[in-house]
Amino acid sequence: MPSHDTSRARFRLSDDHISVFRHLVKGEPIPTFLSPAGKGLKDCGLINDAGAFSADVAPLVATLMDPVTVVTVEMLGEHGQLTHELTISNGYVFSRESWPGETESSYAQVEPQMLVWALAHMVNLQRTAPISAGVPCVESTVGVLDAGLDSLSTGPVGSEESVEHVAKALARTGSLSDPALSLLANMIGELRSSWRMTAAWHGEDEGKRGTKVRGFGIWDCGPLGYWHRELPAEPVREGQVGPESPLKLVPVPAKRVWEMITEILPDENEIASR
């Protein structure tokens, strides 16, 4: 059931509710399978019987239907994959945050000057104490990493036992040795989430319009800090990465992660005129 909080300009909406908005914006009838979603929007007052949007939800609809830049956060953690977004239009900025096991997402209006803060909040960016990793980076292959991650599902429960089990799986690949092997095993054992953030917008190159994309990937390893996945470098497209693809993880402070968030956002000169 959709709902909204006018005091904070936020909404709980499913993909079906957004689809209803799209049909109404295009002047199309609502398909039968979306009738329950349409009824829910009417019942909570976000649309009326004529299909007109309420004043509360109109800015959100306008933003989603005509975005200038969309920043997507794909986050993988204990509860599976969650996708969050920040949509920027000419007049408004709205965030969308998913919740594990829920079909509805939380949409909220964001003050444009606070959009970097909103993105940092999506990935739970926290100040971290300096760490001494012992190595400048961890380098291996995606196949070796997959072996370590896969071992988590077959290993014992418990921090020390789990890390030891992961280390044995990494050692069997024959591609890593200490100190990098032990460090990667501990990183996998402490991994809170891995996420990638991607910004997409309509740009122009030598007079040709097209979609421009920038992004980066991070491991949040809790007490072992943040690690930038330099390789495979983002944006990674489907089918581009295989077991032999190089892997490179570099430790970065939270301040640098904040800077990376700001760097993927396009400036006005990069966005194609309409």
Task: Read off the pLDDT of residues 122-178 as tens digits, 9 standing for 90 and up.
Answer: 999 998 877 777 788 999 999 999 999 998 888 676 667 888 999 999 999 888 888
Q: Is the pLDDT of residue 109 over 70?
A: yes
Q: Give SS3 for 165.
A: helix
pLDDT number for residue 58? 96
pLDDT on residue 133: 73
| Whole-angstrom distance, CA of residue 243 vs CA of residue 241 | 7
Which residue type is seen at 85?
A: E
Return the bridge partners of 246, or none.
141
- 3-class SS at 264? helix
Q: Are 181 and 225 in contact (CB under 8 A)?
A: no
**Looking at residues 237-258, what average pLDDT do you find?**
93
Q: Which of 225, 232, 140, 202 is nearest to 177 (CA)?
A: 140
pLDDT of residue 274: 67
Calculate the average pLDDT of the chain.
92
Cα distance between residue 193 and residue 145, in whole Å: 15
Instruction: State yes or no: pLDDT of 247 exceeds 90.
Output: yes
Question: What pTM was computed for the model?
Answer: 0.93
CB 144 within 8 A of CB 169: no
Confidence band for 207, pLDDT divided at 50, 70 and 90? low
Q: Quickly list H helices, 11-139.
A: 15-25, 35-43, 58-65, 115-122
How does pLDDT run across 67-92, given as a tens digit for each residue?
999 999 999 998 899 999 999 998 89
Q: DSSP letters of 178-239?
A: TTHHHHHHHHHHH--EEEEEEEEEEEEETTEEEEEEEEEEEEE-GGG-EEEEEESPSSPPTT
Contact (Cβ atoms closer than 8 angstroms) between residue 54 and residue 46:
yes
Give the whole-angstrom CA distance, residue 188 versus residue 14.
33
Q: How far is CA 264 from CA 156, 198, 234, 235, in A?
A: 39, 7, 11, 11
